Amino acid sequence: MTTTEAGATAPSDDSTQNVTHATHGYHKQKDEHLKRLRRIEGQIRGLQRMVDEDVYCIDILTQVSASTKALQSFALQLLEEHLRHCVADAAVRGGDEIDAKVDEATKAIARLLRT
Residues 55-89 pLDDT 10s: 999 999 999 999 999 999 999 999 999 999 989 99
C-beta of residue 25 within 8 angstroms of C-beta of residue 85: yes
Per-residue model confidence (pLDDT) at position 5: 41
Residue 115 has pLDDT above 90, yes or no: no
Give the chain's length: 115
Report helix, strand or coil for 91: helix
Q: Determine the distance from the C-alpha atom of residue 38 to the mean position of all C-alpha atoms in its chain, rounded to a whole number.
A: 13
Residue (of 8, 27, 38) closest to 78 by Cα position? 27
CA dihedral 83, 85, 88, 93 (to 10 degrees): -140
pTM of the model: 0.70
Residue 108 has pLDDT above 50, yes or no: yes
Residue 19 has pLDDT above 50, yes or no: no
Torsions phi, psi for 67 (to 5 deg)? -65, -40
According to DSSP, the residues that pair with 9 across neighbouring strands are 3
**% pLDDT > 70, the chain:** 79
Among 10-24, 44-58, 80-94, the least confident range: 10-24
Residue ranges of domains in the chain, CATH in brackets: 2-114 (1.20.58.1000)
Strand boundaries in the chain, DSSP class E? 2-3, 9-10
Average predicted confidence (pLDDT) for the chain: 82
CA-based R_g, the chain, Å:
19
